Every structure is written in C-alpha cells, then in structure tokens.
Amino acid sequence: MEKENLPSELKNGSWGKTFKNAFAGCWYAFTTQKNFIVHLLVSLSVLLLALWLQVSYERFLFLVLAVFLGFTVEMVNTTVEKLVDLITDKYHPTAKIIKDLSAGLMLIVSVGTAVIGFLVLFPPLWQRFF
C-alpha cells in the first residue's frame, strides 16, 4: 500500500505525531503488560539501591543500560506476541514456537541483566554490611 493511500492515522506527517505514536506505544505497554510494571518496580529499586550505595558513574551506567535493554526487549516481545495474535487467533504450532522464542529472548536478557545487577551491586553491598 502506498503512503498516500494510507489513512491519516497511519501516516507520520510530523515529528510531533511520530513522538505521539511512540509515546502511545510505550503507554500501551506500561498499562497493559504486567511484566512492564514488574520491570519498572525492580529497575527503580535497583537504581535507587545503586544511588544509596554510591556506585561509580561507570557502574551506574551499566545498570542504566541493562534497564533500558530489558524494557526494549520486553517491548519487542510484546510486539511479536501481538503480531502473531493479529495473524492468527487459532492455535498453530509455528505461532507457539514464535511466541516461545520471543519469550526465551526476554528470559535470556533478564538473566543477563540480573547478572549485571549482581556484579555491580554485590561488592558495594558486601562492603557496606561486612
């Protein structure tokens, strides 16, 4: 379908509309996906703990990057799930594999970000309490 034939709500005519659509996507994810709320609460806790422990700027940067990586992959996972649901509303073994792969991607990133959090926060926690 050519761009000029698209309905107006599907055209990105301005920067403002582009950002509005992007924020709408983020809002959808945060208001409909329980994992986003969990990710937000855990991320805020980790970042506040890092501030309390006064971790170095470089270490804090690793945590921030891990947080944004987690949100990004969570949105990709949600996108894949919604796309599969759009294509078929019936059970299909290939659709299941696609959804499982997407969830597996999120699992791998979750484990990786947890390892980053542990490596960044454990040494200063150990020093603070022992």
Cβ-contact 126, 56 below 8 angstroms = no
Cβ-contact 13, 5 below 8 angstroms = no
Q: Could you give the CA distance from residue 87 to residue 108 in angstroms, rounded to a whole number?
A: 26
Beta strands in 1-130 (DSSP E): none
Residue 63 annotated in ligand binding: no
Residue 100 annotated in ligand binding: yes
Residue 74 annotated in ligand binding: yes
Residue 89 annotated in ligand binding: no
Residue 81 annotated in ligand binding: yes
Q: Catalytic: 2?
A: no
Residue 55 annotated in ligand binding: yes
Residue 90 annotated in ligand binding: no
Q: Could you give the CA distance from residue 110 to residue 116 in angstroms, rounded to a whole number?
A: 10
Catalytic residue among 2, 4, 9, 74: 74
Distance spanning both ends of the chain, measured CA to CA:
64
- Residues belonging to the binding site are 52-55, 74, 81, 99-100
- Residues at the binding site for substrate are 52-55, 74
Q: Known catalytic residues?
A: 74
Q: Which residues are annotated as a binding site for ATP?
A: 81, 99-100
Annotated binding-site residues for a divalent metal cation read 81
